[in-house]
């Protein structure tokens, strides 16, 4: 029997709340970057919540737009940053966009070190996105989970699937048309059309792009 740990206190904390609190600590304490030990001192939430939500601590930093002092990056971190820049621009990033601190957390040099040419980094990213993005529940290990929630896919929307949906929706909110390319304060989120809690699956057809304003008004209402 597999039980899921429920965080009573942090249950309703949204991605935005976590990222905004990380940004707040950096601004308030005038930090260049944010280590887990610094965040433990000044932050409102638990570091483990941030890591669970974004996969790694660095992924959280990248999502929050906080610079990361690091020489070597995992492919996932490099791709996550390309995705962020692509969303902010609303189109395929150029090499110089990667050196624009308002757009990118990781500079073009890191990509050139790994891929040689910027175009090769983009090709690697596009190939990665084009692999099957559906995150299926592993039936052998999760028989009890399936019995409980009757889902074929996991709730979490992975980078591949999220990017496919954003690209399909042209990096705009499906409800109001807002886009970060036109207004940098707009934050796009990919969300289930039929909520996961109501049996909706994490597949391209059941996902849509919404801005954070339109999404917060929606919650689990169909």
Q: Which residues bind Zn ion (CB under 5 A)?
A: 173, 175-176, 178, 211, 214
- Paired tokens of 123: 């090709």
Residue 50 or 211 having the CB closest to Zn ion: 211
Residue 129 or 211 having the CB closest to Zn ion: 211
Q: How far is the CB of 134 from Zn ion (least distance, A)?
A: 26
Residue 160 or 162 having the CB closest to Zn ion: 162
Tell the residue number behind the tokens 């189109």, with chain if given: 91
Tell the residue number behind the tokens 């099957």, with chain if given: 132
Q: How far is the CB of 170 from Zn ion (least distance, A)?
A: 13
Q: How far is the CB of 214 from Zn ion (least distance, A)?
A: 3
Q: Residue 34 and residue 208: Cα distance in Å, rounded?
A: 32
Q: How far is the CB of 88 from Zn ion (least distance, A)?
A: 16
Residue 76 or 195 having the CB closest to Zn ion: 195
CB neighbour list of residue 199: distance below 8 Å, 6 or more residues apart: 150, 151
Please, which residues bridge with residue 210 across strands? 189
The helix (H) or strand (E) run that includes residue 191 is strand 188-192
Q: How far is the CB of 174 from Zn ion (least distance, A)?
A: 8
Q: How does DSSP assign 107-161, residue by residue?
A: -HHHHHHHHSSHHHHHHHHHHHHHS----B--TTT-HHHHHHH--SB-SS--HHH
Question: Residue 192 has what DSSP assignment?
Answer: E
Residue 148 or 176 having the CB closest to Zn ion: 176
């Amino acid at each position: 029997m597999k039980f899921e740990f429920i965080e009573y206190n942090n249950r309703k904390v949204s991605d935005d709340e976590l990222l905004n609190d990380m940004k707040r600590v950096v601004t308030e304490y005038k930090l260049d970057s944010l280590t887990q030990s610094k965040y433990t001192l000044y932050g409102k939430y638990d570091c483990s919540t941030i890591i669970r939500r974004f996969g790694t601590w660095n992924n959280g930093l990248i999502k929050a737009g906080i610079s990361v002092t690091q020489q070597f990056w995992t492919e996932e971190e490099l791709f996550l940053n390309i995705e962020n820049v692509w969303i902010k621009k609303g189109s395929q990033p150029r090499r110089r966009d990667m050196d624009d601190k308002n757009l990118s957390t990781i500079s073009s040099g890191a990509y050139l070190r790994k891929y040689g040419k910027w175009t090769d980094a983009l090709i690697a990213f596009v190939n990665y996105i084009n692999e099957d993005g559906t995150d299926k529940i592993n039936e052998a290990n999760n028989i009890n989970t399936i019995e409980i929630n009757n889902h074929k896919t996991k709730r979490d929307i992975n980078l591949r699937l999220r990017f496919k949906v954003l690209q399909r929706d042209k990096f705009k909110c499906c409800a109001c048309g807002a886009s970060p390319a036109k207004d940098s304060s707009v934050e796009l989120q990919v969300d289930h059309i039929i909520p996961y809690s109501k049996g909706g699956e994490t597949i391209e057809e059941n996902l849509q792009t919404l801005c954070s304003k339109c999404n917060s008004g929606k919650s689990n209402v169909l």
